Structure 1
Amino acid sequence: MRRSACQRCRAKKLKCDGPKPCSHCRKANTECIARTVSIGTTARPLLPAQVRAEASVPQSAVLEEVNSLDLSKTLLAKGSEHYSASAIPGGHTCNETAQQAPPWREQIPFVLPDQAILDSLARQYFISVNWFMHVLDEESFNELSNEHSSTATVPDSRANFSVLLVLVWALGAHYLWTDPSAPYDHQYLANFRLQAFSYVESRWLHLLSHPNLETVQVGILFGSFHLFNGLPNLGFGILGSTIKTAQLIGLHRGFPRTPAYGHDRNTCTKVWWALEIFEKYAAIAFGRPCGIDDSDCDVPDIQVLPDDAGNLRYHWEKCRLYRIVGAFLGRRKDPKGPKSLHDIHLQLRAWFDALPDDLRVKPDVEDSHGLNLRLQQAVALQLAYDNIQIVLHRQAVFTPRSNPSIATNNDTSLDQLVESAMRTASVTNNKAMLPICLSSHASMHIAICLFTAGVVLAGLCLTDRPTYDVNQLLSGLERIITFYQSFPGQHYNLVSQCLEVLSTLQLKCNRSIPSNPSQSELASNTTRADLAESIQIDRMGK
């Protein structure tokens, strides 16, 4: 076989210089698809009628990811781009990466502790955050951090890493502060984290105006922190600007247009995964359309995981889960998406059934296993799955007329609602819940999932559906409320507000149910084994 012009160059009548990708496709940031001709044959020229017929085929009206500045660069001789273009969309100052910033420590408006303390804060970050949200690779981060810390001044192109470094320290200090057993002065930790978060906030606009991979990493971590810690609207806004920044640097195509200092393609892929999961999680939590269009992203999935995938397996499975539900988030006019709610449901069940054994929640776990990282990931993954199933099916049960496109059996959705909500309530007894909720980035993920399940359980109690025993539903609600009342982390407004809402709903449920002393006692004391025996839910999709 010999190579001819690629499909895009042939269609646009451009001179294709090959090899794949050709310069035209590379500049347009599009896939370069080769056309081949068998050896021993000659490509026959198209007749005029054939040319007219090919030209008449309608082309998809999709905006090509090329701006006017990109086009101007193709018109100029290579190497003549010595001009400032920072005010033009898609441009930057030509000598920006060569500028030397002042000593980076002098730019931080508060006194940093000894390096040994900063290193311990960074270690705490990876203990509390990275197992749940993989934004940084620990080994490469430590290498960059050591290099950064040993240098007084850094190029302006690496200034964003200084902000990322401070944010990592701030998050480490925050999760040490939430743990009363941490061997540090908690007042110092409280003051340090506030100063560090304030500094990151003051640099956010600068990060956006000088976008690179670190900007995206800071946006994911800072946005998710606010989403989980009392300022969800702020976190949602930071998330939105982070998505646009990621698209601006080309991260949605698998690798930034400009080289990412100290990062390879795999690192960039994992950062996009974290952003994609965060965006879809937020869309579900807020009940708003997703800002990432899956059909317009080229970030690959990992087809085959190594046997020693370790922590990567959890993040891979979570990414697969949220990519399934992506078709449900804002795809109202996509003819290629799943045709019904039931289609998505079956894909979710297939994903859940295929989970490896070490990422499944075990019904009974000894105390000694409470700190097992894999168990924490299994709990977080199950809660994410059930939270998605609840949000997916509750509209079919509670508001079936609000969306006429829903095509599913309400009894099927009701079964899945009860199954997922009761399983979420039962996980409060799992020993892994203590370390997750005490000092972990996933603590408010737990609280949000419990709240979603609790509201649905209360709603089912208040409907006229006699399919399930109300006492069993109340027992699940009671478990969630009890867990909130003794929540390990004591610094979260989200927990107290969720508790207030669910307690009010519980009171309304109790008032609406005929008075029966034994019912109340049963709702408070039913064990998980009793629930498993009394609620027999047929597996869906059979």
Structure 2
Amino acid sequence: MSLVAGAFELDKSTTIDASMTTAMPGGQKPPGLENHMTSSSPNTGFRLKRPHSSNLLLQELRSASTDLLSLLPPREVAALLIDTYFDRVHWFMLIFHQDDFRQRWQTLYDTSPDGNFEATPNLGLISTFLLVIAIALQYTGKYRFQILERQDVDPTFFKEKILSTVRSRLLDIVSIGSLEAVQTCVLLGTYYLYHGSPNLAWPVCGCGLRVAQAMNLHRRLPINQPTSAEVQRNIETRKRCWWAIYEIETFCSISYGYPHGIVDADCNVELLHPLMTSPGQSPAIYDELHQCPASLLSYKYLMSKLSVLLKDVLNDLYGVGSHQSGSSKRRPGSLDLKTLLHKVPILDDRLQKWKAELPDILRLNPSTPTQYSSVEEMDRDIGASGPGFESHIYQLQALALSLAYENARIFIHRPLLTYRTRPGGDRKLGSLRDPSRKASHLSLEACRDAAMNTSNLGESLIFSLAADTYAAAFISIHTFTAGVMLCVLTNINPLAPESQQSKIGLRGLLKMQAHLKSKSRSLLSEQGLDILERLTRLVMEKELKEILTPRNEFSSQVQENEAPAHGHPQDLGECEPKDQLDETEEATREEGLADFVEDTTVSQALFELDQVLSCHDSNMALEPLFPDLIAPNNGLAQEQAWIWGMENPMQPFW
């Protein structure tokens, strides 16, 4: 279409009608659509004279606007819910500028549509506004709930009405291709993701990704001359939308094993700028983040950077990449040992460097007093602001970053858990200079340490308040992962001293999940707690069995478990005949692979875990956290347990 525009520019006497390009990729938007888009929408071509005629698309947009406008609550109710969103949700999402949004939503009440299409407000703004207040309705405490009741507002009914209406009009909204359309998908998708409907979240977020890519949000804008503050603000808003989409894609891939929909080679957009008021050089080219003053946006910059790292982990260690189909993805145990020993230390080193960038204000101190003494006090502080509230937000962000870091450690080291060193191999590993040789030796302790640290976060004062924020489900998922890890590690050898410490950590994680369940009213927390309780029973039953096992039988079992286990010949080269081993002796000596064997105790622990998650025991009448685990062919099946090796619960592949 740019070529067509240039051709017509050569002949000033020739004009082109808008109806000639509306159906073409990159063509002009249908006449009359401008009011449904923002100035931040991409420039799609040359300017055309707009005729007065309408068409079916415009009629649908008018109808969608009417449906959504009919849901606008009284201004006083809207103001309360907007404050609630920025009190509870905004710090975690940061997809738009607070000041801009607070000004723009009021224009919806200042405009009085009288049937004239020209006066119809922006459809994307309406949908974004309604989803903001719908999410806020989820986080109204008792005090704010009573205020809404006095305004004759039923929070639950109103929230569901908004969600169902926006969902039914989603195609109309995404068809306008604006930043608000992307924001709508982010808000709606994350709500479903964090509130028990991941099958809805995935396609909705996918719509947001496609709109963002069509708007080139993943590309750096070609601006060579100095720009105004308004233009720079618009650029930062575009980046906020893109990195929100990127984080969601990565989170879903990690949580459910879905393929990642973004190819990094296609993206050159910079990370967010933490300085909200001073546009300038991006911290992406700084050596360390602490060279920039910390701000509330530092959190989003760090989360985005971590998402890039985790996407590399998905691809390098798990084979869940954007360039691979779901059917060809590698299972965690199928990557050869040599590659794992090489890549795990490199990725862990990147993670440690990421952690080193955290500014002091975003490093969680469990003993730091909180701004609010209780959830009730927090609920009464409507439209909170000032240094005290900023300190509260920093603590919440520090908690989220700590959870994300510990979860990333588990995610990186998980593939090496199924390997251990031969008897005496520890001494050899300790003398090796290559850090990769020590990777397998350290991965188990890294996973245990990360899970225990996650458990300890429950003792922080800010944790008791986090359940009433949008991060509740995020916390719950990471707590669940840590709980499963401790169950696996404890189940390997229930009577070992380390297992006793793991059970203490598991108790703390169960307590955290119970708190999240009671305060956040989250289905995810409720089901996660149920599964962790059942896994804990499995661990305790195995411990009791070990205690009651006669000594002679127990000794024989120990000897059997200590017998050298054999891995796959192609991975370890230990099952080959001697003449074949001679041929690979030099490679084996250089790589140090002969010091490792497959750990069958971990395989057994994972198999037992599989039995619990799959609910094979008829006596365990459990509604599973992810019911598609036992119905793998049921449409868009989410596979939360894929990381543990339960891709097919009837046939564990470890």
The interval holding the TM-score normalised by the smaller chain is 0.7 to 0.9
> Quick one: structure 1 residues 249 and 160, their matched pair in 2 at CA, closer, same or farther if it must change by over 3 Å?
same
1:115 aligns with 2:145: no
Query: Which of residues 209, 215, 218 in structure 2 aligns to 1:243?
Result: 209
Q: Give the structure 2 partner of residue 420 of structure 1.
A: 450
1:360 aligns with 2:382: no
Query: Which of residues 81, 87, 100 in structure 2 aligns to 1:127?
Result: 87
1:409 aligns with 2:429: no
1:81 is displaced (CA, Å) by 4.4
Q: Give the structure 2 partner of residue 453 of structure 1.
A: 482
1:486 is displaced (CA, Å) by 3.1
- Separation in 1 of the partners of 2:523 and 2:222? 38
1:109 is displaced (CA, Å) by 7.0
Q: Which residues of 2 match residues 362-377 of structure 1 at below 5 A?
A: 362-366=365-369, 372-377=392-397
Q: Per-residue CA shift, 1:149-195, capped at 9, x if unaligned?
A: 3112466682211111111111112211xx23434346711111111
Q: What amino acid does structure 1 have at the position aligned with 2:403?
A: L
| 8 Å Cα contact 1:394/1:456 also seen in 2 | no
- Separation in 2 of the partners of 1:230 and 1:155? 38
Q: Give the structure 2 partner of residue 321 of structure 1.
A: 306
Q: Give the structure 2 partner of residue 77 of structure 1.
A: 9
Q: What amino acid does structure 1 have at the position aligned with 2:535?
A: L
Query: Which of residues 266, 290, 296 in structure 2 aligns to 1:296?
Result: 266
Q: Per-residue CA shift, 1:423-462, capped at 9, x if unaligned?
A: 1111112121122112x11110010000010001101111
- Separation in 2 of the partners of 1:424 and 1:387? 8
1:125 is displaced (CA, Å) by 0.9
1:512 is displaced (CA, Å) by 1.0
Q: Give the structure 2 partner of residue 388 of structure 1.
A: 408
Secondary structure of the corresponding residue to residue 87 of structure 1: coil
1:89 aligns with 2:55: no
- Separation in 2 of the partners of 1:266 and 1:457? 41
| 8 Å Cα contact 1:98/1:156 also seen in 2 | no
Q: Give the structure 2 partner of residue 152 of structure 1.
A: 112
Q: Give the structure 2 partner of residue 489 of structure 1.
A: 519
Aligned-residue CA RMSD (Å): 3.3
Q: Per-residue CA shift, 1:259-288, capped at 9, x if unaligned?
A: x99961111112212221222122111123
Q: Give the structure 2 partner of residue 201 of structure 1.
A: 167
1:74 is displaced (CA, Å) by 4.2
1:113 is displaced (CA, Å) by 2.9
- Separation in 2 of the partners of 1:94 and 1:109? 22
| 8 Å Cα contact 1:341/1:408 also seen in 2 | no
The one of the two structures with greater contact order (alpha-carbon pairs below 8 A, sep at least 6) is 2
Q: Which residues of 2 match residues 493-512 of structure 1 at below 5 A?
A: 493-512=523-542
Q: What amino acid does structure 1 have at the position aligned with 2:212?
A: A
Q: Per-residue CA shift, 1:279-337, capped at 9, x if unaligned?
A: 212211112332112221121133267966521111112222222222223355999x9
Query: Which of residues 240, 248, 252 in structure 2 aligns to 1:270?
Result: 240
- Separation in 2 of the partners of 1:413 and 1:309? 32
> Quick one: structure 1 residues 233 and 111, their matched pair in 2 at CA, closer, same or farther if it must change by over 3 Å?
closer
Secondary structure of the corresponding residue to residue 84 of structure 2: helix
Query: Which of residues 147, 150, 160 in structure 2 aligns to 1:184?
Result: 147
Q: Which residues of 2 match residues 433-472 of structure 1 at below 5 A?
A: 433-438=463-468, 440-464=469-493, 469-472=498-501
- Separation in 2 of the partners of 1:136 and 1:334? 27
> Quick one: structure 1 residues 192 and 226, their matched pair in 2 at CA, closer, same or farther if it must change by over 3 Å?
same
| 8 Å Cα contact 2:111/2:121 also seen in 1 | no
| Structure 2: runs of 5 or more not aligned | 36-57, 224-229, 272-281, 324-338, 379-391, 421-435, 548-654
- Separation in 2 of the partners of 1:504 and 1:168? 37
Question: TM-score by structure 1 length?
Answer: 0.73
Q: Percent sequence identity over matched residues?
A: 25
> Quick one: structure 1 residues 459 and 203, their matched pair in 2 at CA, closer, same or farther if it must change by over 3 Å?
same
- Separation in 2 of the partners of 1:220 and 1:374? 23
| 8 Å Cα contact 2:62/2:120 also seen in 1 | no
| 8 Å Cα contact 1:461/1:509 also seen in 2 | yes
| Structure 1: runs of 5 or more not aligned | 1-68, 401-405, 518-542
| 8 Å Cα contact 2:250/2:307 also seen in 1 | yes
